[in-house]
Structure 1
């Protein structure tokens, strides 16, 4: 009844779709299944959609002339220094001879493709597109470290012809700022120099035939600075729904805004978790076996921690950069204490627990309502607590001028 109401009430249905793009995609399938009263099938549809959203493949092509910093850009997005195992090769000479796939260490369904530099003796424009299998990527990032060239314009036009998105990224702006300040210490103004770089790129792209170009200025060593957060927001707005969720999860915590993006997307997912749990709990005793136990919920919390960079490996790296122990970090964060988040101390909570047990045994509508709201609010608590902790750690790293990513000095 509760599921039927949610998917047939026009006002509520419209509100759900506006807030949850995944629900919008599977609404018709759930409605058809509800008419046949197959609650187990509803749960299966929801689980299928959750798995599909989290495991949607994403292939990102990074292209540009040799020496522009493509490999360093890929390493930065993957949270790896150039010396770590599995990182893209970086050097002062052409290091990419053929297209190279690099999986994200946490999300293996996401692949960054380091494509050979254009305009070198190894790859001429007339044969480049065919050799790198152009049509297989979801979107393209065209990188330059100085002026965008005719080769870049040719690539952009070819990408547009096949109906794919492309984004111009100007790297090494931190290096440009350093050189400008060193040469002109008295007249140097950061924002003015950045605007000059941007205007130069835009004028150059317009001159070589790119209509309405948009350029993002970035540093491969400081993704939290310059235009990278804006690039994040642009990609999330323009990617298809099933790709957007995947891309948002892999993004590093560069700002409060990027953490809020993840929080919002994960909140969409808990509606489906709650619906799945409530559909199964209609059957007597099913809620008892539906995974709503401590180990299952602890696994869920760890899942959210991983998405926000609070998994054990990430925390060790952050603790090292902050010159703290893991115990120090635990002292001012809340999400790392699972027992604390789950404890029910007051009489009201204990009474609700008894009522829940009674409803679970008997099934029916009361059990459905209990499980829906319990799952929703518990997972909401998990997400909010983890996201708030991620902000605390981000601000502490920024206070010490340390990026959460490894900023080991590396060649561009």
Structure 2
């Protein structure tokens, strides 16, 4: 006689973090609106429900934040998560003001600098036949440099800012809340950005921080607290997710030598890089889940999550939904664009990720240059070190050996 193991979604469990996808598949099939009574949260895992939740902020509120952690959940979440911790007109006002400084043009103008940084770090890391740590030497450094240069963080401070940002998202085994180290790092970053603002008031510059200080709509400007919260969000969300995207891209393509051979066939042909990025975003997205506060009852298949509940919108599961994606567990660069257009990796609705274009720009430039330089690569999957985080999925270390062209 066979028995089915109890179905449990515990985002803090290290074993779950190692491979959440079998659990997601069972949740979609057996409990598409799942309740964890012990940790007091609900979860949506089907694509249709997740996509609908992103469009319906009258039901799925951000005002308590996007983190499941008890200490981060509450009406003050916006203090560190900026407009991700707001709804309605408050969210629209803040996002509109921030967008005056964080413009598409500012992102596009970063391309030459991203190219320069890419060439710099690949020059340092890549040696024919030698192993390097893709995260420590390239993927973990470049996104932080890009964000730091946008904000005006001096080069000498960037390694420490990145270390503190890493600690903010790290979760210790057995601790089902924000660890003390993460709280201390959050305070350190807030203090660091407060000092930056004081410096810009005394001596304005051309960077994003100064632009945020003068951003204005009909006389309305951002407060110091609002600017600090946005800078905090940028360094944690913007840096972490792009680093993990670059790591996940090599990890998964490295498991499929036949597809890798297609991508790296011709150094003059980088056309496979965009499908590579989009399939990585679908197959194993950096941002796995975000929390919402229910303002109304939600019913799925006869199960009701009551108003007032904390609910997880599970992006990683939605991107593997078999009713939307063909053979969803397979990493497939040939996946139709019609399917890839349905990924929810950057959210949706009014909270669609403001940094999505920047993340895609960085990933495209880095991986295109990688294809131009590298004939083939091999990932030591057994020695890859995962990040342990409730919501972010990726690697802290990824040993890679390359054969150069």
TM-score by length of 2: 0.23
Q: Going by fraction, where is helix more abundant, 1 or 2?
A: 1
Q: Going by fraction, where is strand more abundant, 1 or 2?
A: 2
